[in-house]
A and B are shown apart, each in its own frame.
With several copies, the nearest count.
Chain A
Amino acid sequence: MPDGDASGLTELYQELILDHYRRPRNQGSLEAYTRRVALANPTCGDELELDLLLDGDTIADVRFSGHGCSISQASASMMTQLIKGKKVAEARALAVRFNEMLHGSAEAARDKSLGEARALAGVAKFPVRVKCALLGWNALEESTRSQP
């Protein structure tokens, strides 16, 4: 049922995203964590818990759990890949960048530092799904707010 993807659906549900949805990276919880934040998207019921293990100002380890749509799960999965081993400040800068991309910034969508998460640029065409893609990143934002 090909439709030339005028709707953006094929981009939205591309291979890489479905792969992260079906085989999420860094899923689960950490036995030892420095920060744990649980967020929900009350309108759709998506839930996500993010565990961070900090070593000084470095994210030594990260895990997420919860449930939700392919976009929220894939996005969280990609995020964990991206931020593991980064400084908190760097990770937070990536969150800002990711946000810009989801709000339509073409420049952000070309920013290599977003790695695989750039696959989610197409979510910008689906305003109601933007919240989904941001759930994990919002959890990161919240869990590192008081952290320099």
Chain B
Amino acid sequence: MRDVRSDFPILHREVHGHRLVYLDSAATTQKPRQVIDAIVEYYSSLNANVHRGAYDLAVRATEAYEAVRAEVATFVGAPDPNGVIFVRGTTEAINLVASSLGRVRVQKGDTIVVTAMEHHSNLIPWQLLAEAREAHLVMVELTADWQIDLAGYRRALERSPKIVTFTHVSNVLGTINPVADLTRLAHDAGAVVLVDGAQAVPHMPVNVAALDADFYVFSGHKMLAPMGIGALIGKPALLDAMPPYQGGGEMIRTVHDTSATYAPLPHKFEAGTPNVEGAVGLGAAIRYLDALGMDEVAAHERALARYALERLATIDALTLYGPAGDRAGVVSFTLADIHPHDLATIVDSEGVAIRAGHHCAQPLMRRLDVAATARATFYVYNTREDVDALVAALEKARTLFGYAHA
């Protein structure tokens, strides 16, 4: 993959007198000039509210917005742009499905299946749904190699769950789940499947049609796009049958004083003024990633992850978490008795930005038997030098905490 660092203005800023080594892309990514420019251009020449204006600007803003819907569909292999719902991000997409589908599909005593590696955003909405409907929430455990335990998964499916949900890629372990297989099994058990693609779509080619997930969700801000935009990809037949989520402008057909009928897809699920800027920025991000090639992006990150795992393994008393084999560009670790927050503070003083904490995955933390880990994640703009800088900064942490230099 070509060196893209020059496209990212923020990477040329200094942090504490060091160049910024940004290793927290799983939390949010930095933005290339191309995306920033698209935002500026949008507000400088195109901005208007969509879907309601007969004038030139409004027409062009609407066209731009709807064009991105089609681009998103193509990018993730969704057969029908009407099944692409713009949302704020992954969290909102999951809440939309849990709330709207959940209300009609899940009844008292029913089962919902999640896994022990979910991000809180793919857990709490189902907890809330289970509580509201008096349904059972079953959490599938993980194997010793930090994969979804298939035997446990099959056992859970024997309960004929109404909804099964799992992440495509773990934001802590880097585990890449066999989505197509898991989905097929769940479908055989009669379940509807939602896949949390927040850590997949930015990092590898994804084809939702091939995966056959009923719902697939992701965030723009984790894939070079602006904050405040993301997508829910749903099978139109399912979305069609679901009650509306939020009510308001744009999502209606005819409004009477005390009742209303709703617009067809996708607008039924897009109440209120949407984030057109965000969509336009997402379009620019998709074009940027497409130009790089998602296969290349994936290869670049996995190579970096491999290199990082190798280098980190040489550090004394460093513990790595995650599967031994293939994994995404996510590396979680702890170092001796140095708490991850202390690690993050120390490496930050060298310009290295890593995340420390529970990564919104407390159930997984308990299974890892830690309260927190440090985590480095890689994206298109990271290099082997970034990994080297991390390793050097970790050595500094060891020294500060009184460990002998390796």
Contact surface of A with B, Cβ cutoff 8 Å: 1, 6-7, 9-10, 12-13, 18, 22, 40, 42-47, 67-71, 126-129, 132
Contact B339 A68 (CB under 8 A): yes
Contact, CB under 8 Å: B339 / A69: yes
* Chain A positions within 8 Å of B342 at CB level: 13, 69-71
A44–B345 contact, CB under 8 A?
no
Shortest distance in angstroms between A107's beta carbon and chain B's nearest beta carbon?
A: 25
Asked if B254 lies at the interface with its beta carbon under 8 angstroms from chain A, I say yes
* B54 interface neighbour in A9, A13, A44, Cβ under 8 Å: A44
**B residues 240-267 touching A (CB-CB < 8 Å):** 252-254, 263, 267
With A44-B358, A69-B340 already in contact, 10 other A-B pairs whose C-beta atoms are closer than 8 Å: A12-B345, A13-B400, A18-B401, A43-B51, A43-B52, A44-B54, A45-B358, A45-B362, A45-B365, A68-B341
Q: Is B399 in contact with chain A by the CB < 8 A criterion?
A: yes
**A1-B253 Cα distance, complex, nearest whole Å:** 38
**Separation of A128 and B17 alpha carbons in the complex (Å):** 19
- Most-contacted residue by chain A among B59, B338, B339 (CB, 10 A): B339
CA distance A18 to B58 in the complex (A): 25
A44 with B372, Cβ < 8 A, contacts A70-B339, A70-B342, A129-B54 known: yes
B16 at the interface (CB under 8 A from A): yes
Query: Do A42 and B341 touch across chains, with their CB atoms under 8 A apart?
Result: no
Interface of chain B residues 349 through 406 with chain A (CB within 8 A): 349, 356-358, 362, 365, 371-372, 395-396, 399-402
Contact of B59 among A12, A13, A45, A128 (CB under 8 A): A128
Pick the residue among B16, B58, B338 that contacts A7 (CB under 8 A).
B16
**What residues of chain B lie closer than 8 Å to A43, measured between beta carbons?**
51-52, 357
Whether B63 lies near A40 (C-beta < 8 A) is: no
Q: Which residues of A contact B62 (CB under 8 A)?
A: 128
Q: Which residues of B are at the interface with A, using a C-beta cutoff of 8 A?
A: 16-17, 51-54, 58-59, 62-63, 252-254, 263, 267, 337-342, 345-346, 349, 356-358, 362, 365, 371-372, 395-396, 399-402
Q: Are the C-beta atoms of A1 and B399 separated by less than 8 Å?
A: yes
| Nearest-neighbor residue (CB-CB) of A7 within chain B | B349
- A9: contacting residue among B267, B341, B349, B395, CB under 8 A: B349
Give every chain B residue within 8 A of A10 (Cβ-Cβ): 400
Query: What is the CA–CA distance of A71 and B340 in the complex, to the nearest angstrom?
Result: 12
Contact residues of A: prevailing secondary structure? mixed
Closest 7 CB pairs of A and B: A69-B341, A69-B339, A7-B349, A45-B358, A128-B59, A13-B400, A1-B396
Of B16, B51, B59, B349, which is within 8 A of A127 by CB? B59
A-B contact pairs, 11 of them (CB 8 A): A7-B349, A18-B401, A22-B337, A40-B253, A42-B263, A45-B362, A46-B371, A47-B254, A68-B339, A68-B371, A128-B53
Residues of chain B lying within 8 A (CB to CB) of residue A129: 54, 341, 345
Min Cβ gap B321→A in Å is 15
Complex alpha-carbon distance, A68 and B252, angstroms: 18
Which residues from chain B contact A18 at a C-beta distance below 8 Å? 401-402
- Report the minimum CB–CB distance from A80 to chain B (whole Å): 19
Q: Which of A12, A44, A127 contacts B357 (CB 8 A)?
A: A44
With A and B bound together, what is the CA distance between A132 and B340 in angstroms?
Answer: 13
> Nearest A residue to B396 by beta-carbon distance?
A1
Contact between B253 and A126 (Cβ–Cβ < 8 Å)? Answer: no
Please judge, given known A-B contacts A10-B400, A128-B59, A129-B54, whether A45 and B345 are in contact too, CB under 8 Å: no
When distances are taken between beta carbons in the complex, the residues of chain B under 8 Å from A47 are: 254, 371
Closest to A45 in B: B358
B-chain residues with CB within 8 Å of residue A128 when the two chains form the complex: 53-54, 58-59, 62, 345
When distances are taken between beta carbons in the complex, the residues of chain A under 8 Å from B59 are 127-128
Q: Are A42 and B356 in touch, CB under 8 angstroms?
A: no
CA distance A27 to B237 in the complex (A): 36
How far, in angstroms, from A10 to B349 measured CA to CA in the complex?
Answer: 11
Q: Which residue of A lies closest to B58 (CB)?
A: A128
